[in-house]
Amino acid sequence: MDEKLKAIIAIISDFVDVDPDEVTVDSKLRSDLGLNSFDFVNIAVEVEREYNIKIPDVDIAQLKTVGDLLALVEEKHLV
């Protein structure tokens, strides 16, 4: 498993009660993992800190899956 994906899953599991081993890139943030708006903000802040990036609110609102979040991190982290 990709190191960034592992780190993102670890961050998510810090905020919601999920088994990290059961989270995949296809896991839906809201319906599968149960994230609410507050969780999204907290996770975004932690991801921003971890990777020293800025995630605009409009981008956060578009996230549907763990893979979407990973792709956004990879895009922002390379810039």
Are the CB atoms for 4 and 73 separated by under 8 Å? yes
Per-residue pLDDT of the chain in tens (79 residues, 90 and over written 9): 689 999 999 999 999 999 999 999 999 999 999 999 899 999 999 999 999 999 998 998 899 999 999 999 999 877 5
Give the separation between CA 45 and CA 54, rounded to whole angstroms: 9
Beta pairing partners, 65: 28
Domains of the chain plus CATH, in order, are 3-15+24-78 (1.10.1200.10)
Phi, psi at residue 28, to the nearest 5°? -80, 130
Q: Is the pTM of this model over 0.75?
A: yes
Are the CB atoms for 46 and 14 separated by under 8 Å? yes
